[in-house]
Amino acid sequence: QDTQTAVLEIDGLRRAFGGLVAVNDLGFSVGQGEIMGLLGPNGSGKTTALNLISGVLRPDAGTIRLMGQNIAGLASYRIARLGLARTFQLVRVLDGMDCRENIKAGLAFQKPHLPVAEAELRIDTLLHRVGLAGHDRRPAADLTYIDRKRLELARALAAGPRLLLLDEWLAGLNPSELAIGIDLIRSLKADGITIVLVEHVMAAVRALCDRCIVMSSGRKIAEGATADVLSDAAVVKAYLGG
């Protein structure tokens, strides 16, 4: 065993808010270079799961292994420095800063001791990577919606994460923007980045995810290859019931 350590391996993960168990005995693993979809109706625990994995919330129980190391309960900046990055459901860019400064802030969080020249070079590459070349001095507040999304992604990618968590990153895009967004995520996979994404846009889930798990009331109710999961009767029921 163990020639192929999973990038992310979760076991027995639990988090309650008062009497409400938002994430209940959750377990799954994600292999190197995989895109894993995290599906389920509103309130099923998806964002809580991402918050636990990224250290925004502390779990009540369970292990979360990132490249074999248990990160459960570590502070989010420490988890970030171990190679995990994320985006948020509501785009979080700093409106008072331009694009370059926004990415610099992301870098500082993930890789605080990078020499300035190297950081500047990296920022140029990132701006180009997400399709914002030439916009480095534009204030984030002036960006269109999709460009804000691009910037948020660049910030998450700043330190070259091994694992990227996307919380409805494709939400709210029009059809042509959605195609661009899907291509961009595909290109990250091609670069070897492992991705877990929470997504309601089923066309995007079909286009991107190798495997999916489905949550309902905090529990995993289905897991498997995307096409199989999306045709599973229990999954359809959970969505219709949500």
Residues found near ligand ADP in the complex (CB under 6 A): 17, 20, 22, 40, 42-48
Which residue, 101 or 223, has its beta carbon nearer to ligand ADP? 223
Report the Cα–Cα distance between both ends of the chain, in Å, rounded. Answer: 39
By beta-carbon proximity to ligand ADP, the closer residue of 111 and 219 is 219
Nearest distance from C-beta of residue 119 to ligand ADP, angstroms: 33
CB count in 10 Å sphere of residue 224: 14
Q: Which is nearer to ligand ADP, 20 or 225 (CB)?
A: 20
Closest distance to ligand ADP from the beta carbon of 169 (Å): 14
Tell the smallest beta-carbon distance from residue 189 to ligand ADP (Å).
23
Please name the helix (run of DSSP H) or strand (run of DSSP E) that holds residue 15, with its range, or none: strand 8-17
Q: Closest distance between ligand ADP and the C-beta of residue 15, in Å?
A: 8
CA distance 70 to 200: 29
Question: What's the burial of 22, exposed, middle or buried (CB within 10 Å: 0-12/13-18/19+)?
Answer: buried
The token duo for 186 is 């595909």
Please report which helix (H) or strand (E) contains residue 61, including its range: strand 61-66
Q: Which is nearer to ligand ADP, 57 or 85 (CB)?
A: 57
